[in-house]
Chains A and B, each alone.
Chain A
């Protein structure tokens, strides 16, 4: 496994970082957080239209490239349906050879994916309800998956979308009753699993970006903040906690790109690697949210400081596409199923 990035990948990351740096300031994110759906502030609501449509074709790219982009998006908490649209919706349309796939890749159409039933577990469901459907009000189409391994594409406007309020208002999720008599296309279970794996690793990469922002903000703060006549970052009790959190983030980061490489090369280990990646990335982001908050003291507990936006993203995204415990249980099945 070679973690060396090629020149295009380095360029991709730098371009994405510069774009987010210039176009996605913290003020925009805060606005997006207050209301991201229909009535939110213009800048946040249109951010995806103005800047992310051009990147939709990453859905066709190697997973490593997609992850590099998602990490940058996670760092700034970029608003909009970019993650679900590129990492799962486009690959699903490619899978069923949908006539609109090229338009989605060109950024002219967008979509999201409806997987779980009302119990909220991310497994293909027979339930008449789909829940935790991300960004459904911001997209044109919803791809509804079923336990029979079918895909149906429905215009979002034809669905009765009810928002499920979560901690994370910057990634709204919706519930709806699946309309009867949808046109369906059958695919194989393996093909669907591959799409979900892609979405899972992309989300894990986003969580790495969330964790990186939290780590940077925390380290900057504890280097500067003085109490008892010394920077609080010089206290060993804080240092060791942050070292352990940094180790967790670094190994999660490596696990995410390892999983991306496994998917790109169709490696035998890919399912193991995806479980490891999401479990580790989710844990790392939540750990930095918690330890970062604690290291900031009172300011960390305010609405004013941007930390809580990441705390919310880390906590809510943990449940999307499976929590760490859920992935560990799947991993245990794989571990014990082979001789």
Chain B
């Protein structure tokens, strides 16, 4: 490291936690994961076996979602321990899973909103034994999710579901879909949405993979044509689906920023090395630009910690509303600068000819998704304006 990482001076209990985690990671992180990878579908959309095994091992050792109890892949960790966990993973570029839908969205949502039978599906979702996809977006419902039109019509003990989902990550490998459907067309659009658990092998359900601009196959279109879904697959109350979109992951929210800040920090360190190798070390423009980026990365890291302090004390942390917006845009600029530093080779993708086998070109392309998925930057700005700054709705 070219500057010391923030070494948090926590108590002995925290340090013991860290030591145990470090020992686990040193022994168990698979070679393939060390490059840092949290998506599927470079060459094929399959989930590699090493990734499934690692996720299961994390779960069985209580390191999958540390704040959960052991039966859910955790060890009842405190918020501070969760922060330490995130830091250690992120500083090594290690992801818990190559498909975050199950452990990060579906598992927590089932636990919060599901009935007893549905809650019992959470452990396998978190362990990765059951692969899930999340069906929210539709061709005519993206940022305006509440306008979704996939219809579920009651029919005896079932719903008959017809419609289309799009950009559904992992749909081609998933066993189940956590699917948002319209169950009432006669009320305000937020009030007629429900969530159904749909088996991906149901008759009438068809998946057509879509390629990312990177070439990878990760998301898909999902067509539903009179798919029969048992009524017991309804999650939560009928027409209460909008609440579910707002839930999930609350327990980790205080530390989610760590991963994105750490990867920004790693990118920054990489930029300094490229500048050296490219003989740009004494270029005034490059130096100033790198210093500006350093300022941004490190002040955002401080902002994350500041938000964590309020979070750990049980207050809301408006700081964290800024973090996804800020880090997703910052990372795009970091990777783009890594390309720019390569001069005329900026757009070359032959791994033999460019820095680090094309890492910068690849990371830049992948980073372009981060300002779209999970709420676009524009929507994030609207949300911060109204909820954090208290400005009137447009």
Contacts and interface: CB of A to CB of B under 8 A. Distances in A.
A254 B304 CA distance: 8
B302 A233 contact: no
Interface string A301-339: 000000000000000000000000101110110011011
A272 B303 CA distance: 16
B384 interface: yes
A276 B290 CA distance: 12
B309 A3 contact: yes
Contacts of B302: 1, 251, 254-255, 257-258
Contacts of B290: 332, 335
A236 B382 contact: yes
Interface in A192-218: none
Contact of B391 (A4, A223, A336): A223
B306 interface: yes
A230 interface: yes
B237 interface: no
Interface string A223-265: 1000000110111100110111011001111110110000001
Contact of A243 (B3, B294, B298, B385): B385
Contact of B6 (A1, A219, A336): A1
A268 B389 contact: no
A116 interface: no
B299 A255 contact: yes
A187 interface: no
B81 to A, nearest CB: 14
A279 to B, nearest CB: 5
Given A223-B392, A269-B4, A331 B294 contact: yes
A254 B306 contact: yes
Contacts of A1: 6, 8, 302, 305
A331 B386 CA distance: 36
B381 A240 contact: yes
Chain B residues touching A, majority SS:
helix
A321 B313 CA distance: 36
Contacts of A276: 294-295, 298-299
B252 interface: no
Given A1-B8, A268-B4, A242 B391 contact: yes
Contacts of A253: 303, 306
Interface string B303-321: 1011011001100000100
Contact of B3 (A244, A255, A258, A269): A269
B291 interface: yes
A64 to B, nearest CB: 12
Given A223-B391, A254-B319, A338-B2, A242 B385 contact: yes
Contacts of B305: 1-3, 254, 258
Contacts of B394: 234-236, 239
A234 B393 contact: yes
B306 A257 contact: yes
Contacts of B294: 272, 276, 331, 335
Interface size class of B (residues with CB under 8 A): 35 or more
A227 to B, nearest CB: 12
B391 A335 contact: no
Contacts, number: 142
A222 interface: yes
A218 to B, nearest CB: 10
B242 interface: no
A267 B4 contact: yes
B272 interface: yes
A243 B384 contact: yes
Contacts of A235: 394
Given A1-B6, A4-B313, A335 B291 contact: yes
A280 interface: yes
Interface centre among A250, A275, A280, A327, by most chain B C-beta atoms within 10 angstroms, is: A250
A273 interface: yes
B124 to A, nearest CB: 37
Interface in B177-203: none
Contacts of B9: 2, 265
Contacts of A331: 291, 294-295
Contacts of B391: 219, 222-223, 231, 233-234, 239, 242
A134 B206 CA distance: 73
Given A3-B309, A251-B326, A339-B2, A329 B296 contact: no
A114 B391 CA distance: 45
B388 interface: yes
Nearest to B300: A251
Nearest to A261: B302
B43 interface: no
Given A219-B390, A258-B302, A329 B291 contact: yes
B309 A250 contact: no
A239 B385 contact: yes
B322 interface: yes
A223 B308 CA distance: 29
29 contacts: A1-B8, A1-B305, A2-B8, A3-B306, A3-B308, A223-B390, A231-B391, A235-B394, A236-B394, A239-B385, A242-B391, A243-B384, A243-B389, A246-B388, A247-B384, A251-B322, A255-B299, A255-B302, A267-B4, A269-B4, A280-B299, A328-B291, A328-B292, A329-B287, A329-B288, A331-B295, A335-B2, A336-B281, A336-B287
Given A240-B378, A331-B295, 18 more contacts: A223-B391, A223-B392, A239-B394, A240-B381, A247-B384, A250-B303, A251-B302, A254-B303, A254-B305, A255-B295, A255-B302, A257-B306, A272-B298, A275-B291, A329-B291, A332-B291, A336-B281, A336-B287
Interface of A: 1-4, 219, 222-223, 230-231, 233-236, 239-240, 242-244, 246-247, 250-255, 257-258, 265, 267-269, 272-273, 275-276, 279-280, 325, 327-329, 331-332, 335-336, 338-339
Interface of B: 2-4, 6, 8-9, 272, 276, 281, 287-288, 290-292, 294-296, 298-300, 302-303, 305-306, 308-309, 312-313, 319, 322, 325-326, 378, 381-382, 384-386, 388-394
